[in-house]
Amino acid sequence: MSTEPFERVAERFELELYGGVFERRYRKLRPEVEAMPWGTLSAGRLSEQQLLAARKAWTGAAFQEHRTGIACCATLRALLEARAPLDLIALAARFPLDELVHVELCARMAMELGGGTEILYDPLDVVVDASSDRTPLARAAELIVRFFCVGEALSIPLLRGTWRAARHPLPRAVLGCIVRDEAAHGTFGFTFLDWALPQLTAEERAILGPAADQAITAVRRLWSDIRNRPTTDRAPVDGDALAFMETEAYLTLAARAMDEKVLRPLRARGIALREFPDGAQRELRSG
């Protein structure tokens, strides 16, 4: 029998705006969203199957951005609890708003194509929090490694590749905005680590490798799912920018990004990964 006072049921991923003065204030914070060429996407030349694949891809992207927003908030709290440098925290305080904007952009792209598709999820089980038995600084470092040094660091080259593949002005504007924001997110993790690592004990540093491994494994699983998917289930490359994320070119870029933006920088900081257990001692494989 469950010990929780309520039943944990899957909820539908749906969004709303409150509107009025609150929406106007939000719009003022990020005026570029309304300036995008909404209403110009014609889905007419897509088959029903292709359209559904595109709607699914953008809805999935909106959900991923929502997850990242929660990850940014969890990290932000840990940074405050760890009393990280105020200017670093202030920079990270912008990230949740950025992610909310990305959620809206991706959700609106799905709407442009006919509407979002159904995603059921447990809102209380979106991200894994830091180990509870660690100091505030070690907890912040753990979350930074998992969410920023892996996920966010990877997102810069991958989103830039997706943005380059976009032809239509609307997805180009949407992805261009996301790419600009992500540039700051993607480098933040290593900036924080360079400040935090000298203050961590050897034992605290040792948990960062497995934390990174966990995030790396999750990302690799996602990529192998894409690779094994039959091509008939993939979105059309011309019809939707996100379809680039299901091509061989994307997977090649992804493997390179993992090496250059994640594995090498972590290893250079002496973090022992499953793939490079001896820290910075060994030469890296190339390619």
Binding site for Fe ion (CB under 5 A): 65, 99, 102, 182, 185
| Minimum gap (Å) between residue 213 Cβ and Fe ion | 21
- Would you say 147 or 276 has its CB closer to Fe ion? 147
| Minimum gap (Å) between residue 24 Cβ and Fe ion | 23
| Minimum gap (Å) between residue 212 Cβ and Fe ion | 17
- Would you say 72 or 200 has its CB closer to Fe ion? 72
- Would you say 110 or 207 has its CB closer to Fe ion? 110
Rounded CA gap, 61 and 155, in Å?
12
- Would you say 113 or 175 has its CB closer to Fe ion? 175
- Would you say 73 or 280 has its CB closer to Fe ion? 73
| Minimum gap (Å) between residue 287 Cβ and Fe ion | 27
| Minimum gap (Å) between residue 149 Cβ and Fe ion | 13
